[in-house]
Amino acid sequence: MNHNRIVCFDLEMCCWNENGVGTTGEIIEVGLAEIDLVKGEIVKRAQYYVRPQHDEVSLFCVELTGITPRKIQKQGRPLASVIQSMIKNFGGSKKIYAAWGRDDRILAKECEQKGIAMPFNEFINLATLYRIQHRLKDKRIGHREAQEALGIDWEGRQHSGYVDAYNLAKLALKLL
């Protein structure tokens, strides 16, 4: 296990807003940013688009994420192929992965449904870590709000897996 490197990741999923109720479906983007805790810097980044098997990218989803059906059609790959690329380029079970919230559960559930092995075993929920460090016992806080509360500028469009993973890596460097 490499404890000096953490792979921050963020998922974007098919999403809808019907009568004010948001729902999500299959993963359509995985953003990753790896940090080196010894150097204190981001050392690698990647973005993978995933072609959903059962869902479609809604207009609401396009407006939220900027991911269009055309982009998915042209650049999307099956989740199994994306997982293989993640393992090849970032390491699988030899690395610790981190996200804001429980993206690990979302990924694990979809991997299980599609007969794909989970790409990692070790996971850190940075939202929980932040709440513990800042004594926010009963308060949930969003990634961007937490980052800005620590004086770290947000860069780029929120709800892009690539951008969110990069910003999460900046936050992780401060928390870990």
pLDDT exceeds cutoff 90 at 2: no
Q: What is the pLDDT of residues 112-138, one digit of tens each?
A: 999 999 999 999 999 999 999 999 977
Q: Model's pTM, two decimal places?
A: 0.95
Q: How many helices (H) and strands (E) does the chain have?
A: 7, 5
Burial 62-77 (b: 16+ CB within 10 A, else e): eebbebeeebbeeebe
What is the bridge-based pairing of β-strands 21-36 and 41-49? antiparallel
Q: Which domains does the chain have, with CATH numbers?
A: 5-175 (3.30.420.10)
Q: Which of 28, 2, 35 is nearest to 159 (CA)?
A: 28
Q: What pLDDT shows up at residue 167?
A: 98
- The side-by-side arrangement of strands in the sheet containing 96-99 is 41-49, 21-36, 5-18, 96-99, 122-125
- Alpha-carbon distance 24 to 12, whole Å? 9
